[in-house]
Chain A
Amino acid sequence: MSALPRTPAAAADVSPLFDLGQGLIDRSIFSDETLYRQELRRVFAPSWLFLAHESQFNKPGDFFTTYMGEDPVIVTMGRDRRIRAFLNACRHRGMRVCRADAGATKAFTCSYHGWSYDTSGKLINVPNRDGYPDGFDQDKWGLTEVAQLDTYKGLIFATWNPEAPPLRQALGDMTWYMDAMLDRDPDGTEVVGGVHKWVLEGNWKLAAEQFASDWYHVNISHASALMVMSPSGKGPKAEIVQTPGRQYTDPNGHGAGFPTHPKSRFDDRVVHHYYDYEKLRERLGDTRVEGPMTTGHATVFPNFSYLPVNGSIRVWHPKGPDRMEVWAWTLVDKSMPDEVKNAQRLYNLRTFGPTGIFEQDDGENWSECQATAHGFMAGSMALNYQMGLGSETEDGTHPGTTGHLYSDGAARGFYARWRDLMNTPAWHEKDHEKDTP
């Protein structure tokens, strides 16, 4: 790691903030500034984080800028067609070397003093090079590259942690659930051009937790949207409100919930008619078509979430304890005809995204939860995560552990993972040989 030796910051023991066996969580995890700084060091820095979709990179020089935690990063395809990710920070004074959202380039040149880096991160130009001492080794001052980068069925993830287990292992059984969205088409998926980005005055965990674990809110929070979308216009039938389903809880903090229904369906008619459900059953199996492929929700720990029916994939970028930025893409199957892709795009932007008839109400909930979290009494109360306690089991049908659909089970799993990471020194806190020149 290209850093000077530094004494690790003091870390708080977060164990007292949780009694997950009783389903109790201290509300300060959403608002405490010190915990937030620790979270950047011990949850975001060591974890695999979602960066972008492979279809955003088609030729050498294509780049996309995003964040890992609060760290700005460039994702780019090098001349060898390999996708790499770098800290978007000049090694000289730390300014971002790329201030565009996306595009194509041969080099990233800092507009402060002109240090220039190629698409493999190598420092290729230093103006007034003669001013540096003889020992200045340009090769040691390339952009800081992520420790590991890997893809899973089109999704690009990376981590700063050289000791992180491989991506496939970190995802574990979650891949079985993710495949219900990523593996319907033998040709894979791609994203529609453009990214929805918006800010929310709420802690990122409010959203990540909900997508892992919260089918419960749908009938109330989204009552207006369900009413508009129901065929009668008067609201969904009782069997939809009382739908059976399962919720998956992963030991690495991931979670997914989904109604189970023998007639899986896509809400958009064009997309629904496009799919050959018999073929999907052959490809993915009945259990997946009747479960995780339906109108479910999921979070890959810590901050990547998706909605399999809407094709919405998104990252909750942390921006301080009280604020997040949502970046959302629209995912479609590569083999879909253009009119089906377009139908999926329109359906997604009308339901989810900053003007979506579902998402508008989610934004209101999260900002409202945050707005009062700093009150002394309101902020020190334990929150109730007891729904579905004891319902988790290995049901023999779905991989791993599942519980009731209406449950906080995946949230308890999410926070157990968060607690354990918060209480574990990360690789950068251990003694490492520093390679700083």
Chain B
Amino acid sequence: MSIRTEEPTAAVSTGSALDPGAPAQEAAPSSAAPAAALDNMLLHFEVQRLYHLEAQLLDQHRYADWLELLADDLHYWAPVRTNRLRRQQSLADGAPGEVAIFDETKASLAWRIRRFDSGMAWAEDPPSRTRHLITNVMVRPDDEPGQYVAESAFLCYRNRLEREVDIYAGCRTDVLRRGTDGGLLIARRTILLDQNVLLAKNISTFL
């Protein structure tokens, strides 16, 4: 099964082409560059479609399908967030090579997903209800041609058993790349969860 976002075909309403995701030099409305602004909107729309599909797959526990949205050389990373003195803020987010909530390759994510399929992953049996909400999407071209950097905010609500509730909120910075069929793949993801002490007994989904 191939999961790809459809190429956007819907007409987008015209008007002020103020796209928050556009690079600064393209952001100013200019009647001289309507085509560039439209391209930008289409890209933005395509990325949002990708994220909405991804959220749906995760909320439906279709993890194997979710894996198909990820590039083979994926790095999926969620450092820990620490409280630091204001003058030492540069150390507030965990560095590469430190303890992390996730530090994954596509293969290690597949390993985690196989656990869910074992029928004995008790932390998800009965399964949780989750809702991934993805918003504040901003896209810009990456330095690497054909790649984009997409930032988004997420809020994942988990409700489990009778009344357990966990909320995971934060931001993600992705590098997106076109796959061989033209669809966008997630090649890098950095997740900054807005918590110091993780306020949940575990994270049994993906963000």
Contact = CB atoms under 8 A, between A and B. Distances in A.
Contacts of A227: 114-115, 118, 120
B144 interface: no
Contacts of A209: none
A201 B122 CA distance: 17
A364 B202 contact: yes
B100 A197 contact: no
A365 B198 CA distance: 18
A329 B94 CA distance: 13
Nearest to A194: B99
A228 to B, nearest CB: 5
Contacts of B164: 367
Contact of A103 (B84, B108, B115, B201): B84
A305 to B, nearest CB: 17
A306 B124 CA distance: 25
The interface residues of chain A, by DSSP majority, are classed as mixed
Contact of A102 (B82, B104, B118): B82
A122 interface: no
A279 to B, nearest CB: 27
Nearest to A364: B123
Contacts of A200: 201
Interface in A245-300: none
A367 B201 CA distance: 8
B95 to A, nearest CB: 7
Query: Interface range on chain A: under 10, 10 to 19, 20 to 34, or 35 or more?
Result: 35 or more
Given A99-B83, A228-B114, A363-B123, A195 B99 contact: yes
A86 to B, nearest CB: 17
A297 to B, nearest CB: 19
A325 to B, nearest CB: 6
Interface string B187-207: 000000000111111111000
Contacts of B202: 198, 354-355, 359-360, 363-364
B123 A360 contact: yes
Given A224-B115, A227-B118, A363-B201, A103 B91 contact: yes
A195 B199 CA distance: 15
Interface in A173-216: 192-201
A354 B101 contact: yes
Given A103-B91, A228-B114, A367-B201, A342 B122 contact: no
Interface in A89-145: 99-105
Contacts of B100: 194, 349
A103 B88 contact: yes
Nearest to A102: B82
B118 A224 contact: yes
Contacts of B204: 355, 360
Given A192-B98, A221-B122, A367-B201, A357 B88 contact: no
A76 interface: no
Given A199-B199, A199-B200, A350 B91 contact: no
A347 to B, nearest CB: 10
Contact of B197 (A198, A353, A365): A198
B98 A194 contact: yes
A162 interface: no
A195 B101 contact: no
A103 B85 CA distance: 7
6 smallest A-B Cβ distances: which pairs? A194-B99, A363-B201, A198-B198, A193-B98, A194-B98, A223-B120
29 contacts: A101-B83, A104-B88, A194-B82, A195-B80, A197-B196, A198-B200, A198-B201, A199-B197, A200-B201, A201-B201, A225-B115, A228-B112, A228-B114, A228-B115, A228-B118, A233-B114, A330-B99, A345-B97, A345-B99, A345-B103, A346-B108, A349-B101, A349-B103, A353-B99, A354-B202, A355-B112, A360-B204, A361-B122, A363-B201
Interface of B: 79-80, 82-85, 88, 91, 94-95, 97-104, 108, 111-112, 114-116, 118-124, 164, 196-204
Given A350-B112, A360-B202, 11 more contacts: A100-B83, A100-B88, A103-B88, A194-B82, A198-B199, A224-B115, A224-B119, A345-B98, A345-B99, A350-B108, A359-B202
Interface of A: 99-105, 192-201, 221, 223-225, 227-228, 233, 325, 328-330, 342, 345-346, 349-350, 353-355, 357, 359-361, 363-367
